Structure 1
Amino acid sequence: MTTTVTAAVAPATGEPLVVRELQLDAPRPDEVRVRLVATGVCHTDAIVRDGIYPTPLPAVLGHEGAGVVEAVGDEITTVAVGDHVVLSAAYCGHCRRCRAGQMAYCEHLMAEDFGGRRRDGTTSLSSEEGPVSSHFFGQSAFSTYANVVENSVIKVDPAAPLETLAPLGCGLQTGAGAVLNELRPEPGTSLVVFGVGAVGSAAIMAARVAGCTTVIAVDLHDSRLALGEEIGATHTINSHKADVADEIMKITNGDGVDYALDTTAVPALVQQAAACLGIRGTLALVGAARPGTEVPFEIGASLVKGWTFKTVIQGSSVPQVFIPRLVELWKQGRFPFDKLIRTYRLQDINTAFADSASGATVKPVIVF
């Protein structure tokens, strides 16, 4: 039996989203029906809207959902009706990477998260004109209701406001996880973050949780650098006004940083980040670039530094384990990501996208 839902549809490549009524089919035995309370707006939504990643359009995007479980299929064992949940990326659960606990690197990631269909080829959403791609990241959360795959569902503390928790599903998990799960900096070490958006802000907060004593924020916008200081940066650099490498060498007394995280995927900045590393330093890239983007690295004089470059997605996390930990850190005041959020109505979703792109809002959240 179908249900009428209100959703924001990405109609065609590069076009604004359109809020309209759609039909949502009945949840399958392995799905959870969720009533969405809020959904974060992420850069990945924008690059799919713009055709950089290959989800078939028209589609309902949205992959940072938070809501309440309305119904569960017969095969569901991890949540029950009434549970408060955050929604994150889907993964198959059966490939070698998933079985090794490396769900972020699922061998079937593109099909599970960007395919726009269930595994059997069906979509849960339709309009009078025909099928609409669903199950974006297992959820398609720019909708009042969604049929969600079980692996995308994370049960959370019902005392925590869902309007606040929604962004944990992707962007904040990515930044915090890149630091806490992948880089794992030792207490007393140094870390620089390029780009103080939502992902970079989460990384700054996580660096302080990890015990980094030098945390450098790099951005073009003074307002974001001020926010970086508020949430834990010990130093800030406006890359438009200063030479980043020179400033970092001054801050670190010529040693360079132990860790660098790039959230921008701008090749020139990735090069700068590598140049700022000290001996045995590590650079992690979490920013999403257009496929085919390349970055040249100097490999002559830098050979003796023994440095590492790695790419990181979804914070290398197991969402069902990591997101509840972030909630606990937030409750203790040690991960104050609520400072990043500005809420919008579903009808204003294109304004939310525009404000995110311009930097006017660090983390837009759609509240239903």
Structure 2
Amino acid sequence: MQTGLKSAASCPVCAAVVRKADGPFLLEQLTLTAPRDDEVRVRIVAVGMCHTDLAVRARMLETPLPVVLGHEGAGIVEQAGSAVTRVAPGDHVILTFASCGRCGPCESGHPAECVHFRELNFSGHRPDGTHALCDDSGTVLSDRFFAQSSYATHAIATERNVVKIPKDFPLELAGPLGCGISTGSGTVLNALQPGPGGSFANFGCGSVGLSGIMGASLAGATINIAIDRKPARLELARELGATHTICMPDEDVVATVRKITGGGVDTAMDTTGRVEIIRQMVDALRPGGRSAVVAVSPPGAQLELDANDLMAGNKSIQGVSQGACVPDIFLPRLIEVWRQKRFPFDRLITFYNFDQINQAVADMEVGRTVKAVLRMPEAI
């Protein structure tokens, strides 16, 4: 059993704890250990809410309970371990996903493909089995979610999963860049790359999908199709750069995409995780078309495709995690295009106070809110 979490160097925090499947987020007073040599303690100013957090709560992903979730944190470094050189106390940072930095994919510049990705982001503890959080009784909780567990007033992160950002960029906007916004835009810009004059179709207009629509506009796609069930989301997609919209299930999606593009779309992304929609995405590709799946599907979900269509059509489908990005490079670029008013991701955000976290969940689940961001009590 781990001991010694409570010490003179530990920090009291208020955190949102999930103690049972589909249970509410409970605000509890916990103790956060001091950072290790390669870690930093960050005062969280704001944190985005992502459907991956809700997938863990629903047990679609098996991070142990009880757990402190949250993986789109942004805040100010308060303390840095002795081996940390990239950030210092007072720096403004975005917290993003964890990677080992030593495996083949990491060393070749593909940290989202880290061999140890699941262990580092979903296990609920450090690689050595230890934790950074405990409750009043001294019992440890699952934490280290994406090496941050940022549904809390403070978080411990590693040097590798914090990205230093300019102090004049609003921290309350920064968190979602660490996952949802970079996943959608990065999948388009880094993986699919529709290019100037190309075509792109996005299936599902949540924050990830709408970020993909904005990414396709940045890439120069001249056909940029948004597909969703909610007319309001499609209207927003138009405002963010979609050239065409398709409302499911009123329209035959595959036939409509083929009509718009003259035979099939160059590139496409699914953000729903629903296998029947993924099948539509692949069917809507032109010969040689490329597609990406970026969302969590229910456990055991099986995808059926027409193997001959895939082969003879030279079509491809790939999974993409974290927008295939290198956060230290990609996130500052997103900030810069936002400054240039070419990437208005802030239009997706609705703010909530931290103690409104369960209302934020309810609003996201019914589609009332695209991207919820929780402001901490001490937010600046």
TM-score range, shorter chain: over 0.9
Residue 59 (structure 1) aligned to one of 51, 57, 67: 67
- Alignment of 1:30 onto 2:38: yes
Q: How far is the alpha carbon of 1:54 from its aligned partner?
A: 1.6
Match of 1:80 in 2: 88
Distance in 2, matches of 1:92 and 1:13, equals 29
Distance in 2, matches of 1:147 and 1:193, equals 35
Match of 1:141 in 2: 150
Match of 1:238 in 2: 247
Distance in 1, matches of 2:145 and 2:20, equals 15
Other structure's SS at 1:9 match: strand
Other structure's SS at 1:131 match: coil
Distance in 1, matches of 2:185 and 2:310, equals 28
What amino acid sits opposite 1:334 in the alignment? R
Match of 1:275 in 2: 283
Residue 320 (structure 1) aligned to one of 328, 342, 359: 328
Match of 1:212 in 2: 221
After superposition, the C-alpha distances for 1:191-243 in whole angstroms (9 at most, x for unaligned) are: 00000000001100000000000000000000100110010000001012111
Distance in 1, matches of 2:127 and 2:306, equals 43
- Residues 91 and 167 in structure 2, CA contact (< 8 A), matched pair in contact too: yes
Distance in 2, matches of 1:249 and 1:118, equals 48
Match of 2:257 in 1: 248
Distance in 2, matches of 1:259 and 1:147, equals 38
Q: How far is the alpha carbon of 1:120 from its aligned partner?
A: 2.1
Distance in 1, matches of 2:34 and 2:312, equals 59
- Alignment of 1:103 onto 2:141: no
> Is the alpha carbon distance of 1:188 and 1:50 closer, same or farther for their aligned partners in structure 2, counting shifts above 3 Å?
same
- Alignment of 1:154 onto 2:163: yes
What amino acid sits opposite 2:321 in the alignment? I
- Alignment of 1:180 onto 2:169: no
After superposition, the C-alpha distances for 1:284-312 in whole angstroms (9 at most, x for unaligned) are: 11111123211111123453211111110
What amino acid sits opposite 1:135 in the alignment? R
- Residues 29 and 136 in structure 2, CA contact (< 8 A), matched pair in contact too: no
Match of 1:7 in 2: 15
Match of 1:339 in 2: 347
Match of 1:122 in 2: 130
- Between 1:217-226 and 1:128-137, the stretch displaced more is 128-137
What amino acid sits opposite 1:304 in the alignment? A
Other structure's SS at 1:300 match: helix
Written as runs of structure 1 = structure 2, the 5 A alignment for 1:32-51 is 32-51=40-59
- Alignment of 1:227 onto 2:229: no
Aligned length: 367
* Alignment root-mean-square deviation, CA: 1.0
After superposition, the C-alpha distances for 1:116-175 in whole angstroms (9 at most, x for unaligned) are: 112221111100241111211010100001111111100011111011111001111100
Match of 1:257 in 2: 265
Distance in 1, matches of 2:38 and 2:57, equals 28
Distance in 2, matches of 1:133 and 1:302, equals 42
Using structure 2 for the length normalisation, give the TM-score.
0.95
Other structure's SS at 1:132 match: coil
What amino acid sits opposite 2:245 in the alignment? T
Using structure 1 for the length normalisation, give the TM-score.
0.98
Percentage identity across paired residues of the two chains: 45
Distance in 2, matches of 1:178 and 1:295, equals 20
Distance in 1, matches of 2:236 and 2:103, equals 40
What amino acid sits opposite 1:237 in the alignment? I
Written as runs of structure 1 = structure 2, the 5 A alignment for 1:87-98 is 87-98=95-106
- Residues 46 and 75 in structure 2, CA contact (< 8 A), matched pair in contact too: yes
After superposition, the C-alpha distances for 1:314-351 in whole angstroms (9 at most, x for unaligned) are: 01111111111111111111110000000111111111
Match of 1:71 in 2: 79
Distance in 2, matches of 1:301 and 1:28, equals 52
Match of 2:6 in 1: none
Distance in 2, matches of 1:364 and 1:317, equals 23
After superposition, the C-alpha distances for 1:76-115 in whole angstroms (9 at most, x for unaligned) are: 0100111110010011111111111110011111110011
> Is the alpha carbon distance of 1:172 and 1:301 closer, same or farther for their aligned partners in structure 2, counting shifts above 3 Å?
closer
What amino acid sits opposite 1:314 in the alignment? Q
Distance in 1, matches of 2:30 and 2:128, equals 21
Match of 2:4 in 1: none
What amino acid sits opposite 2:179 in the alignment? C
What amino acid sits opposite 1:86 in the alignment? I
